[in-house]
Amino acid sequence: TRSYAITLLPGDGIGPEVISVAKNVLLLAGAIEGIEFNFHEMPVGGAALDLTGVPLPGETLSAAQQSDAVLLGAIGGYKWDNNEKHLKPETGLLQLREGLKVFANLRPATVLPQLVDASTLKKEVAEGVDLMVVRELTGGIYFGKPRGFSTNQNGEEIGLNTEVYSISEIDRIARVAFETARKRRGKLCSVDKANVLEASMLWRKRVMAIALEYPDVELTHMYVDNAAMQLVRNPKQFDTIVTNNIFGDILSDEASMITGSIGMLPSASLGEKGPGLFEPIHGSAPDIAGQDKANPLATVLSAAMLLKYGLGEADAAERIEAAVLHTLDRGFRTGDIYSDGNKLVGCKEMGEEVLKAV
């Protein structure tokens, strides 16, 4: 048996509920495939703030760094919304990404045939959508310096941030994107604002340079405003999208909503080496926390990404993915993806059905 150390970060809101389901799914799929897991549960986000006064305690980061992979639930909640920046739950997440050096965020947006009606887009526009956003995650305006508050020449207060990318930052995310596209349908669309921003001009130049290493991948470029439109107009035109941190934040959320089922969508954040960070793309949903209403499937599918991208355990990953599809085929639905004729279940029952299917 292979054995892996997994750091579980349940976080806030519905985080603990969905992590508990995903943990059981991992245990069972692992047992069948001859994989053993050692789970370490650590606090992050608001939970960590309440417990320790900071959103990412040093013990949590070092546990994460020393493990083979990290599975996160969700962070944030009304309670901490007005905290100062360094005491926001979100800051804990950004510190975790930085601390794990996970610069490549992979966010699939797939419309499952079972759930095509959940999209607000017309059936003929939504069906068959299967795209992947590769978002740069540890650079750009999220981390650029200088940042903060200052005064301008007129003595007026200003707030400022710096969008900055270096050649090596662009090159490494471009390579991940080309590799990803190569394993998919061989099409990569790089999204930038190179008609206005110098940071985007360098981005485009380097993506074009790296493209020479991947002659088998078809590269196109699109401005971010146009990309936001094209995702609505005809999302099927996209295979793999690569973009910077802030544009990726916006476009991956837009793409996920186009599928109509953000309760279903996982993500993987990977570095050059070291453990990856895996998390559902949905938030902590404080309004339904603790009510057994959350959809655990995004976290279960994140656990599958953890197996595939984090541990190289593709068989166990596929077993979990197949179990999720089978559970949907049998008509089980949490409230967020419910439609007439199906069986409405809670978070726990959905978890049990997936376990049966595993």
Ligand X SMILES: CC(C)[C@H](C(=O)O)[C@@H](O)C(=O)O
Which stretch of DSSP H or E encloses residue 343? Answer: strand 343-344
Assess whether 193 carries a catalytic annotation: yes
Q: Indicate if 253 belongs to the active site.
A: yes
Compute the distance between CA of residue 318 and CA of residue 213 in angstroms, rounded to an integer: 30
- Return the range that interacts with ligand X (CB under 6 A); candidates 89-97, 109-117, 159-167, 254-262: 89-97
C-beta neighbour count of 30 within 10 angstroms: 25
Between CA 36 and CA 160 the distance in angstroms is 48
x/- binding map, residues 230-259, to ligand X, per CB under 6 A?
A: -------------------x----------
* Interacting residues with ligand X between 16 and 75 (CB under 6 A): none
Residue 63's SS3 state is helix
- For position 162 contacting a second copy by CB under 8 A, the verdict is yes
Interface size with ligand X, residues (CB under 6 A) = 7
Paired tokens of 100: 């794990």
Q: Which range of residues in 1-9, 225-233, 309-317, 328-336 is near a second copy by CB under 8 A?
A: 225-233
Q: Determine contact, residues 347/21, Cβ cutoff 8 Å.
A: yes
Q: 162 and 146 in contact (C-beta within 8 Å)?
A: yes
What track of x and - describes contact with ligand X for positions 141 through 180 (by CB under 6 A)? ----------------------------------------
Q: Cβ 308 to a second copy, closest distance in Å?
A: 25
340 is known as an active-site residue:
no
41 is a site residue for a second copy (CB under 8 A): no
> Counting contacts by CB under 8 A, is residue 238 touching a second copy?
no
State how far the Cα of 356 lies from the Cα of 286, in Å rounded to an integer: 29
The one of a second copy, ligand X, none whose footprint includes residue 159, by CB under 5 to 8 A per kind, is: a second copy
Instruction: Say if residues 322 and 280 touch (Cβ distance below 8 Å).
Output: no
Instruction: Give the interface size with a second copy as a residue count (CB under 8 A).
Output: 62
Return all residues near 173 (Cβ < 8 A) that are at least 6 apart: 103, 104, 134, 136, 242
- When asked if residue 165 is in the footprint of a second copy (CB under 8 A), the reply is yes
Whether 239 is a known active-site residue: answer no
Catalytic residue set:
142, 193, 225, 249, 253
